[in-house]
Chain A
């Protein structure tokens, strides 16, 4: 067990807790940077997909994990980011300008939409965002002259300062681009948490009443959180558009919104690790399932018949298991295991036990 001896106020908000932690994270970044030399193109593509999911997950995590506002409609903002990015590029802007602009547009869209919704909380907010997700799907079809509706749009090839980046042509460059964006988002996320704004997010999440008593403007905080969250999600959407190559209204449907939410819950709410772990599950689960299927098929005289929806079902079953037995997600489990070894043999079973709360209606105020 290590104890941190705090010698200045900054110790509380340092980027890394201590040198050891910094060492591990920096080695992780180095390994991530070396991956294109170690993996073949297919696995590298999967890793790219993982990073895109993780960016989207971090976007949603700011809203759900940090501010405590559940959204079932973040695919809509991925769509906004994706369409804005491609349409701006079609209008002649280079990727390096169109991409941040797409994030900005999606952030502003989220902020404006959140303004009237700040009064809603809990389940009502979930429903409103659900409606947004469905509306976005239909809106893309209605705006066909601009968005090509059902036929879909093609993402143009990215070119940064004359260097062409193509998902299939040179997957390593595409991977580095996504890795850079992901690292930037992680930095923004970490710094946000250390700032007064991030602290007020946590205050709103833990208790709106006490947050208001401490002088936090609840409505503004929620709207800002929504804006930041949708901006990051919009960036992920733009990247996903480039990753998929072609996309239409179906690409960013309600199921994607729900998957995003399920993903960060599996990973563990309220941590960057959670977004990455959840993204890893959602990316590698299909491979894993098809591997298992082949393995079982080997016993029963190979049947390669695919079961529609098996990925989603297994994913959902895993999620149900997590919510019932480990509500803190994969990262929460890891924290428990780590604490067990750090404190060995003094770990107690109910160290992470949450306080039970009994239900009172929302309909009586």
Chain B
């Protein structure tokens, strides 16, 4: 019973990592850019929701403020690409990495300036309620997180593989110039994908903030999520979720059965080993070109 509870809470944690990783993968899949600020965008999305919902700030109803926050983050992502990332066309990947790292620092500072550095948690309808299955007590928040993550991953997976826009996004990533010749508006497509990533980040933030508390440096969680997406296979949506779940499950079990110090190391050790022995992750996305 204890093991099962540990399993479910690990699963829920893993889903949050998976959601942030999903944001990384979305952007990487469609633009080959790596957004190190994804964790900070999650933090920002969470703070916007908190700022709208919590009684100490605006005190709006959750069901209005949550969609609004998701929308705001979507617009934020779109504008970010339009005004900042678009200028990075043709520059190296690492330049984008450095840029987004710096962006993350700026976002963290702004969030701290507006909402303070005290940890806050979201007053959402799913926070702190229990669901009982026989003798098993599970948090409602954990179940909601797992369900939302699953649905979102499936939806995005089909979006990328079955819809016109999704395929256009893949095409513009594989060869910008060729995609442009085929009539795909590469710039808009890139901005849209950033908007999508912003919205996903906001959803992750809302779920995370109703499960625990957030503070401006929560964004550093993004690094763990980043490890997750690499373990799963960078560029693969199910891979991001898989990697997130692996890390989410390793942590509670390792700190329970080994020592907490080693538990902190394990995800990164796994990441390092995966990079050396299977550089493209478990669900590798590298195909050799047919000649």
Q: Which residues of A contact B (CB under 8 A)?
A: 70, 72, 116-117, 119-120, 122-124, 126-128, 130-132, 134-135, 138-139, 141-142, 254, 258, 261-262, 265, 307-310, 312-313, 315-317, 319-320, 323-324, 327, 354, 356-365
Contact = CB atoms under 8 A, between A and B. Distances in A.
Chain A CB count within 10 A is highest, among B117, B216, B268, for B268
B94 A123 contact: yes
Contacts of B218: none
B139 interface: no
Nearest to B259: A142
Given A124-B275, A265-B98, A319-B98, A359 B113 contact: no
Given A123-B97, A363-B286, A364-B287, A138 B106 contact: no
A362 B117 CA distance: 40
B84 A324 contact: yes
B166 interface: no
Please report whether the interface of chain A is mostly helix, strand, loop or mixed according to DSSP: helix
B173 interface: yes
Interface residues of B, number: 56
B265 A138 contact: yes
Contact of A128 (B105, B177, B275): B275
B286 A135 contact: no
Interface stretch (B124-132, B201-209, B222-230): B222-230
Interface in B126-149: none
B95 A327 contact: yes
A317 B216 CA distance: 17
Given A135-B265, A361-B32, A308 B117 contact: yes
Contacts, number: 152
Contacts of B90: 354, 356-359
Contacts of A117: 275-276
A70 B102 CA distance: 15
B94 A358 contact: no
Contacts of B102: 262, 315-317, 319-320, 323
A214 B226 CA distance: 36
A323 B87 CA distance: 9
A356 B180 CA distance: 15
B93 interface: yes
Nearest to B266: A138
A249 to B, nearest CB: 11
A316 B88 CA distance: 16
26 contacts: A70-B94, A120-B275, A124-B230, A124-B275, A126-B94, A128-B276, A254-B223, A262-B101, A265-B95, A307-B109, A309-B112, A309-B216, A312-B105, A313-B106, A315-B105, A316-B104, A320-B106, A323-B88, A324-B99, A327-B95, A358-B176, A359-B32, A361-B174, A364-B287, A365-B286, A365-B289
B285 interface: yes
Interface string B19-50: 00000000000011010000000000000000
A122 to B, nearest CB: 5
B254 to A, nearest CB: 12
A313 B176 contact: no
